[in-house]
Amino acid sequence: MKRFISNNISIIGPFIGLIIFSIILGIMSDSFFTLDNLLNLLRQISINALIAFGMTFVILTAGIDLSVGSILALGSALTAGLLTSGMDPVLAVLIGLLIGLALGAINGLIITKGKVAPFIATLATMTIYRGITLVYTEGRPITGLSDSFAFEMIGKGYIFGIPFPVILMLIAFAILYFILKKTVLGRQVYAIGGNEEASILSGIKADRVKIWVYSITGMLSVLAGIILTSRLNSAQPTAGASFELDAIAAVVIGGTSLAGGKGKIVGTLVGALIIGVIDNGLNLLNVSSFYQQIVKGAIILLAVLLDRRSK
Amino acid sequence: MAITPLVEMVGIDKSFSGNQVLHNVQFNVNKGEIHALMGENGAGKSTLVKVLTGIHDRDAGEIRVNGEEVQFINPKQAEAKGIVVIHQELNIIPNLTVAQNMFLGKEIKYGRTGILNHKKMKSLTEESLQKLGVINISPDDIAGELSVGKQQMVEIARALATNAELIIMDEPTAALTDREIESLFSVVNDLKERGVSFVYISHRMEEIFQICDRITILRDGEFIGTENIRETSFEKVVKMMVGRELGERYPTKSNQIGNVVLEVENLTSKDGTFKNVSFQVREGEILGVAGLMGAGRTEVMETIFGYRKKESGIIKLDGKTLRNGHPSDLIKAGIGFITEDRKMKGLILGSSISENIALANLKTISQNGVISNKRENELVEELINRLHVRTTGKNQEVKSLSGGNQQKVVIAKWLGIKPKVLILDEPTRGVDIGAKKEIYTIMNELTEIGVAVIMVSSELPEVLGVSDRIMVLHEGKVTAFINRDEADQEKIMFAATGGNR
């Protein structure tokens, strides 16, 4: 038990916070603890959570990815384009995911081979990818996508009463959890964030690992984008704007260190849940969205301050 | 003696969360003496200094400065009483000039305007450097571009500018070349004549016997004794420190030298640090690599290991030419490299012992990219036991280990790959005397099973005591190979200063 606590100390704080927020909202609003609302909440967070999972990997290597929102928009727009041209939806989605992988790999290549700081590299590609999206869509939403069951399923479907986006999020979580916890790649991600020079001198191909990490993040961003596109049945050129901030917030609230090398993906899931609970709860309580931003910012600050204190 | 000591510490106790690290410690420094403070890592030397300068408060005991009882609550107060610490990691801001560093936090201004009087600060800096007899540093030099030795001089000058009466130096020579050590010692001796006292913390016995007047020895937080250097001996000090006879300083060797394992031919660096370096190492041999700071020793090793790009040259292992694009290629071929700077390049300080050891062995402990916990635990436990790493468990963070135990973790990591060639760059730097001997013993054991060992070291007695053969570098060129039975300090220094060939 003691061992369990010391191993998970960084997550226990956010987890307790999540429970407290939930209890408060449960008392204040009768509709919070209804099954419908909870499933709705999970579906709402799935998009942010998917992006934040990728961001966790990036931040663990002591990097940052500001371009996730733009990758989401570009990947969604291109996928939507393929769909309107009549391509099989499953194939279109797979191609969309590969595009995300490639856009992320470009980030990784600029950062490793070009030796550009991740913040600057992804700030640049954030703008470039967004620009390409606007050029491609001519600034207008792409609509009339597909009425195929498979495509509708992604954003709007249910399996055994559980929203399909939630299932996608849980599958992605399970795979990424396994990678971080049990594989060589996961170990290398932590090592690079802990001390990149020592990792290279221990035989780790740090460049290759980082390119993978940014690629995975790109792919997860497009997956989130496809869910969004399916729900709206249209691809918006401005989709995903400022999503990077919510993703980074979820990672940080979840106790992952921006300095790299320390953190857990479970924490990110909890972080995304906390953000979701706040959004959802404040909506139920009819709090103006202007105030919601203040509350959200304050909670990010609180999470980080509490984390400092426990160290 | 009826003279009041400059600093007197009596009956000092200090515990951290129930763990007693100092117990009834006595320590005093007289005016104008150089007093060595010695003990193994973890003996309580730094804690004692921190108690003196007010970084930690004491649980019991008295501290008197010039006979007057004091209770500093921060180093600034200690400084006001003339006590200054120069840490091993120098307190220099690298992108500021020497003069700016000298007056950091106490800048001279035109009256109350807040406008800096650069002219005056520069001339005062120049003056204090001259007083030290240092002529090759200008107040306008960028501090970060100076050698470590010169940076240290700047720190000493800064200490004197605050009228320091006692300067505490923690491992001052660890990063200095022999020539820099000499000029440091002459400055220190000069200041001693002028009545400045020093506390000298070091693991280097030769230096302590060369420069210090008295020595105080701590062991496990206990005061063991204070001796006059002239009346004591090397053996006695070691015994006081480790609490037992350590025997010979270098373990006896029983290695058999076999065939050539590693061959380096005409290795030349891309940035011009070294040229046409060629050498061979044989099975079971320890090749010592000597040379002054900047001779290119570390650069040669990092290039062999694929961490630096080479311009030209061939590296052969067992007669086969190696492709060295990345350290991972050389590890796969069976070469391990223990870096000089273990904190920056050797370890992930925030990670556990287990994770650090696993790092170079990820292939061995995994299958299809999935790590086997069982294999990892077996490997880590075997290596921790084999190297006698003193730890509370394999999940302890390496940050909290002593220097000697950290170094053992680095060595453990590389023994895991079962190397054919092991390169050790300054393997005993900052390591206490007991752990040093253990490291030599490990090196000998490796040679007995046929591993070829290369040891880069700046400590000549160590090079002489451990090596079978010594290669000497001078300004990026090999100037001599000397066999063990023909080697002595003079020959090595002659070659290291470019005297040969």
Write out pLDDT tens, residues A100-159.
Answer: 999 999 999 999 999 999 999 999 999 999 999 999 999 999 988 877 888 888 998 999
pLDDT at A209 over 70: yes
List CB contacts (< 8 A) between B327 and chain A. 200-203
CB contact under 8 A, A187 and B362: yes
SS3 content of chain A, % helix, strand, coil (to 5): 75, 5, 20
- Cβ–Cβ under 8 Å, residues B432 and B238: no
- Could you give the CA distance from residue A280 to residue A268 in angstroms, rounded to a whole number? 18
* Domains of chain B, earliest start first: 7-242 (3.40.50.300), 248-334+419-501 (3.40.50.300), 346-418 (no CATH)
B 284-323 → A contacts, CB under 8 A: 305, 307
Shortest Cα–Cα distance, B278 to chain A (Å): 23
All residues at 6 or more sequence positions from A287 whose CB lies less than 8 Å from its CB, including other chains: A295
Number of neighbours of residue B243 by Cβ within 10 angstroms: 13
* Position A27 in a domain: no
Number of neighbours of residue B33 by Cβ within 10 angstroms: 19
Nearest CB among A185, A198, A205 relative to B348 is that of A198
From residue A26, how far is each of A41, A292, A296 by CA, in Å? 13, 18, 18
CB contact under 8 A, A190 and B355: yes
Give buried/exposed letters for A193-225 (b at 16+ CB in 10 A, else e): bbbbebbbbbbbbbbebbbbbbbbbbbbbbbbb
The confidence score (pLDDT) of residue B245 equals 63
B274 interface with A at CB cutoff 8 Å: no
- What's the distance, Cα to Cα, between the start and end of chain A in Å? 20
The confidence score (pLDDT) of residue A286 equals 87
How far out from the chain centre does Cα B312 lie? 32
Task: Quote the DSSP letter at residue B430.
Answer: T
Number of neighbours of residue B280 by Cβ within 10 angstroms: 18
Token duo for residue B121: 């600060």
Residues in chain A: 311
List CB contacts (< 8 A) between A185 and chain B. 369
Token duo for residue B59: 């649980």
The sign of the CA dihedral B437, B439, B445, B447 is negative
- Could you give the CA distance from residue A306 to residue B134 in angstroms, rounded to a whole number? 50
Shortest Cα–Cα distance, B347 to chain A (Å): 6
B54 interface with A at CB cutoff 8 Å: no
pLDDT digits (tens, 9 = 90+) for B53-71: 998 889 999 999 998 999 9
* Position A103 in a domain: yes
Token duo for residue A126: 């954030």
Is B111 or A248 the better-scoring residue by pLDDT? A248
Determine phi and psi for B57, rounding to 5 degrees.
-95, 155
How far out from the chain centre does Cα B97 lie? 26
Task: Please tell me which residue of chain A has the smallest CA distance to B301.
Answer: A201
Place of tokens 């790649």: A185
Nearest CB among B345, B346, B370 relative to A182 is that of B370
Nearest CB among A182, A194, A204 relative to B350 is that of A194
Q: What's the average model confidence in pLDDT over A248-263?
A: 91
B 320-339 → A contacts, CB under 8 A: 326-328, 331-332, 337, 339
B355 interface with A at CB cutoff 8 Å: yes
From residue A309, how far is each of A10, A13, B394 by CA, in Å? 11, 11, 26
Number of neighbours of residue B128 by Cβ within 10 angstroms: 18
Nearest CB among B332, B360, B366 relative to A202 is that of B360
How far out from the chain centre does Cα B350 lie? 21
Token duo for residue B32: 């104008």
- Could you give the CA distance from residue A271 to residue A224 in angstroms, rounded to a whole number? 17
Shortest Cα–Cα distance, B429 to chain A (Å): 18
Shortest Cα–Cα distance, B331 to chain A (Å): 7
List CB contacts (< 8 A) between A191 and chain B. 348, 351, 355, 359
Task: Please tell me which residue of chain A has the smallest CA distance to B331.
Answer: A203
Q: Which of B342, B398, B347, B402 is nearest to B45 (CA)?
A: B402
- Cβ–Cβ under 8 Å, residues B30 and B3: yes
Task: Please tell me which residue of chain B has the smallest CA distance to A3.
Answer: B395
Q: What's the average model confidence in pLDDT over A155-164?
A: 92
- Could you give the CA distance from residue B424 to residue B457 in angstroms, rounded to a whole number? 9
B 149-168 → A contacts, CB under 8 A: none
- Could you give the CA distance from residue B175 to residue B458 in angstroms, rounded to a whole number? 9
From residue B417, how far is each of A282, B284, B344, B364 by CA, in Å? 56, 17, 21, 8
List CB contacts (< 8 A) between A6 and chain B. none
CB contact under 8 A, A205 and B328: yes
List CB contacts (< 8 A) between A262 and chain B. 350
Q: What is the pLDDT of chain B when averaged over all its residues? A: 89
* Number of domains, chain A: 1
B108 interface with A at CB cutoff 8 Å: no
- Could you give the CA distance from residue B334 to residue B357 in angstroms, rounded to a whole number? 16
The sign of the CA dihedral B88, B5, B210, B442 is negative
List CB contacts (< 8 A) between B339 and chain A. 198, 201
All residues at 6 or more sequence positions from B459 whose CB lies less than 8 Å from its CB, including other chains: B204, B428
Shortest Cα–Cα distance, B335 to chain A (Å): 11
Place of tokens 């505490």: B168
Shortest Cα–Cα distance, A72 to chain B (Å): 29
With 0-12 CB in 10 A as exposed, 13-18 as middle and 19+ as buried, what is A140?
exposed
- Cβ–Cβ under 8 Å, residues A46 and A164: no
Mutate to test the interface with A, among B338, B339, B351 (most CBs of A within 10 A): B351
% of residues, chain A, pLDDT over 70: 95
Number of neighbours of residue B154 by Cβ within 10 angstroms: 26
The confidence score (pLDDT) of residue B500 equals 45
A183 interface with B at CB cutoff 8 Å: yes
- Cβ–Cβ under 8 Å, residues B192 and B28: no
- Could you give the CA distance from residue B77 to residue A18 in angstroms, rounded to a whole number? 46
What type of residue is B395? N
Per-10-residue mean pLDDT of chain B, 501 residues long, equals: 82 83 92 90 84 91 91 89 86 90 87 88 90 85 87 87 89 78 89 93 87 92 92 86 73 86 94 92 95 87 92 93 87 93 90 94 93 95 91 88 88 94 91 86 93 92 92 92 90 78 43
Per DSSP, what are the bridge partners of residue B15?
Answer: B20
Give buried/exposed letters for B163-197 (b at 16+ CB in 10 A, else e): ebbbbbbbbbbebbbeebbebbbebbeebbeeebb
Mutate to test the interface with A, among B298, B353, B359 (most CBs of A within 10 A): B359
Q: What is the pLDDT of chain A when averaged over all its residues? A: 91
CB contact under 8 A, B362 and A184: yes
Q: Among the residues of B10-64, which ranges form H helices?
A: 45-52
- Could you give the CA distance from residue A142 to residue A234 in angstroms, rounded to a whole number? 5
Q: Which of A92, A225, A232, A219 is nearest to A150 (CA)?
A: A92
Q: Among the residues of A61-163, which ranges form H helices?
A: 68-84, 89-112, 118-137, 149-156
- Cβ–Cβ under 8 Å, residues A54 and A212: no
- Cβ–Cβ under 8 Å, residues A47 and A165: yes
A177 interface with B at CB cutoff 8 Å: no
The confidence score (pLDDT) of residue B161 equals 83
* Position A308 in a domain: no
Nearest CB among A188, A203, A261 relative to B327 is that of A203
* Position A247 in a domain: no
A 184-203 → B contacts, CB under 8 A: 184-185, 187-188, 190-191, 194-195, 197-203
Shortest Cα–Cα distance, B344 to chain A (Å): 7
* Position A158 in a domain: yes
Q: Which of B184, B222, B190 is nearest to B202 (CA)?
A: B184
Domain boundaries, position A234 = 48-241+258-263
What type of residue is A287? V
pLDDT-derived band of residue A65, with 50, 70 and 90 as boundaries? very high
Per DSSP, what are the bridge partners of residue B216?
Answer: B37, B226
Number of neighbours of residue B200 by Cβ within 10 angstroms: 24
Q: Sort residue B111 into left (φ over 0), alpha (ψ -120 to 50) or beta.
A: left
CB contact under 8 A, A198 and B359: yes
Torsion of CA B46, B52, B57, B62, to 10 degrees: 130
CB contact under 8 A, B360 and A191: no
Residues in chain B: 501
Helices then strands, each counted (H, E), chain B: 16, 22
Shortest Cα–Cα distance, A128 to chain B (Å): 33
Number of neighbours of residue B415 by Cβ within 10 angstroms: 23
Nearest CB among A182, A198, A204 relative to B347 is that of A198
A6 interface with B at CB cutoff 8 Å: no
Please provide the DSSP assignment of B470-500 as one string.
EEEEETTEEEEEEEGGG--HHHHHHHHTT--
What type of residue is A174? A
Nearest CB among A183, A187, A200 relative to B307 is that of A200
List CB contacts (< 8 A) between A261 and chain B. 348, 350-351
Token duo for residue A88: 């099989």
- Could you give the CA distance from residue B499 to residue B475 in angstroms, rounded to a whole number? 12
- Could you give the CA distance from residue A62 to residue A56 in angstroms, rounded to a whole number? 10
Task: Please tell me which residue of chain B has the smallest CA distance to A257.
Answer: B350
What type of residue is B278? S
Token duo for residue A129: 């990818």
- Could you give the CA distance from residue B196 to residue A233 in angstroms, rounded to a whole number? 81
Token duo for residue B499: 């005297």
* Position A230 in a domain: yes
Determine phi and psi for B247, rounding to 5 degrees.
75, -160
The confidence score (pLDDT) of residue B247 equals 67
Mutate to test the interface with B, among A5, A182, A187, A201 (most CBs of B within 10 A): A201
CB contact under 8 A, A182 and B362: no
List CB contacts (< 8 A) between A200 and chain B. 307, 326-327
- Cβ–Cβ under 8 Å, residues A217 and A57: yes
